Amino acid sequence: DQQVKQNSPSLSVQEGRISILNCDYTNSMFDYFLWYKKYPAEGPTFLISISSIKDKNEDGRFTVFLNKSAKHLSLHIVPSQPGDSAVYFCAASEESGGSNYKLTFGKGTLLTVNP
């Protein structure tokens, strides 16, 4: 049972436009959310995160929005660049067994930014 869902397997946008990647979750215990970016033949790398006490976090061209009531978050990339083409994973964490935190990932969305 998928607790973190990325319902769009792929997304294609033009260079310079906005990319919006979406993520939904079902576990109300999740209180910290992360986006990872993965290039082919490399491991995922951390991109941006947001705590459940916030509804927005911005880092340069990347902004993550969190809507707790809808259990939905989104990653906005503005402006999109060809180098942003990668698989983007949404992940969520909850306290698990004391002080250990476990990440639950979505299946990922392949973003292609066309020049």
Query: Which positions lie near another protein, rule CB under 8 A?
Result: 2, 4, 9, 31-32, 34, 36, 41-46, 49, 51, 89, 93, 97, 99-108
Closer to another protein at the Cβ: 56 or 102?
Answer: 102
The least CB distance from residue 3 to another protein, in Å, is 9
Closer to another protein at the Cβ: 69 or 100?
Answer: 100
**What does residue 34 show for φ and ψ, rounded to 5 degrees?**
-135, 155
The 3-state secondary structure of 12-61, one letter per residue = EEECCCCEEEEEEECCCCCCEEEEEEECCCCCCEEEEEEECCCCEEEECC
